Amino acid sequence: MQNVLILAVCVVVYLVPSIVAFVRPLPKTDRWHIGLCNVFLGWTVIAWAVCLWWAIAYTGESQR
């Protein structure tokens, strides 16, 4: 039982950038890009940090 709890916590921590992206009001395409980048490259830690920054840094303003 303890191993399952540890695994669940690790999965949630790993997916924090994706969770943040889907909770915040980001454009739909950015949400999916962050999620895919997080799932496939998040294990590199650098990509995980970039995904987290990308999810948090969005201000909602137009980039024109």
pLDDT range class, residue 58, cuts 50, 70, 90: confident
Is the model's pLDDT at 5 over the cut of 80? yes
Chain segment 7-44, per-residue pLDDT in tens: 999 999 999 999 999 999 999 999 999 999 999 999 99
Residue 3 has a pLDDT of: 95
Q: What is the pTM of this model?
A: 0.85
Question: Distance between CA 5 and CA 61 in Å, rounded?
Answer: 39
Residue 38: burial class (beta carbons within 10 Å; 0-12, 13-18, 19+): buried
